[in-house]
Structure 1
Amino acid sequence: MTAQVARKLRSDARDNRDRILDVAREAFAAEGLDVPIREIARRAQVGAATVYRRFPTKEALLAAAFAEQMALCITIVDEGLATADPWRGFRLVVERLMEAHALDRGFARALLSQYPRVFDLAEHRDRTLRGLVELMRRAKEAGGLRKDVVLEDVVLALMANEGIRAESRGTRVAASRRFAALMIQSFHAEPVPAPLPPAVRLPLPGNG
């Protein structure tokens, strides 16, 4: 095998892998995490065997598809922990996590589903949640966060945020920012009404 042929094969393999991951992310975002591997292979225009060679299990495919987004979540929480004012750090974390989820609904579903319990995202998710718990503790001690707010309340807000339905990414982000502002006000120990980001028009249930 010549060096040129070898390079071509490696390039084709990278292209196939990138296409598989792109298709998987789109499918998981639009249809949930139960889209079969064979269907992802069909949409990526490769054989199922090609997918399985690179990702032996569904869990391995999910982990690879969302590795970058999971790293972003860790970075967001770490930056919140590094903020001098814990309440401000908490606010920034909620805002940025919700925006990240609005931009990638497939990732939000993966993060909030049962799948992370059994594949590589579990360790990263647990690290993110531990950091968030620590940030909440600091924000409570500083008097910014309500004493009765628990991690499950933040998770509930993230789950509700995942339910935002809009065709364009820009509209989803705008709606997410307004929702985040509402949630943050409800989490504050001494809530003071503040102007909300602009409202956006979203499809009502039953209207598409």
Structure 2
Amino acid sequence: MIELNRVTKEYAQRHGRRTILREIDLSIEKGEHIGILGRNGAGKSTLIRLLAGSELPTSGTIRRSMSVSWPIAFSGGFQGSLTGLDNLRFICRIYEVDYLSALPFVEEFSGLGTYLKEPVKTYSSGMTARLAFAISMAIDFDCFLIDEVIAVGDADFQRKCRMEIFDKRADRTGILVSHDPHLMRQYCTSVYVLHEGTLHQIPDINEAYEFYARVNATF
């Protein structure tokens, strides 16, 4: 289970502090597929980072009794001067995963070929995303955080990504941030709308989209 209890997140700005998330309560059971809707700037990515543990809440608590991925395809943790293979080796060491067992999957899935032996700082953004996604899938997590990454790469690579996340790992917990109504309906068992720092659970997905459209009509 992942449990958020009265989680608030604030950031210091030039003219004071801005509250992004306000006293969020959320419980996610093993095997659930949660969708989160919200306009740009609503705090969706902030919530994902809090769930991942890459940021801490200003107040409130987050408890995790299952392993949680970093945001899928997040490449901010790469060391640019290291090669793709060296970054894989380093990440595997952190998560206590056998590097040699993960390597064949990363080589095949990323499709980077000899570039895996080149420094990541020489990669294009698309190549970096391919590496990040491949490494994300090579680590066996109980819960995957999916933050608007299905559109990386060409159509074939997107299909590979969807199959890895939504088909092969259908039994895992998933938390999806997306504006794609088809993907939400296909994948998610429940949907939340993040609006003005508050997380609203809407039991029916169609109703969730109606609420989302209504509260954001003035933006």
Scaled by the length of structure 1, the TM-score of the pair is 0.30
Please identify the structure whose Cα radius of gyration is greater.
1
Structure ranking higher in helix proportion: 1
Scaled by the length of structure 2, the TM-score of the pair is 0.29
Greater RCO, 1 or 2 (C-alpha within 8 Å, sep 6+): 2
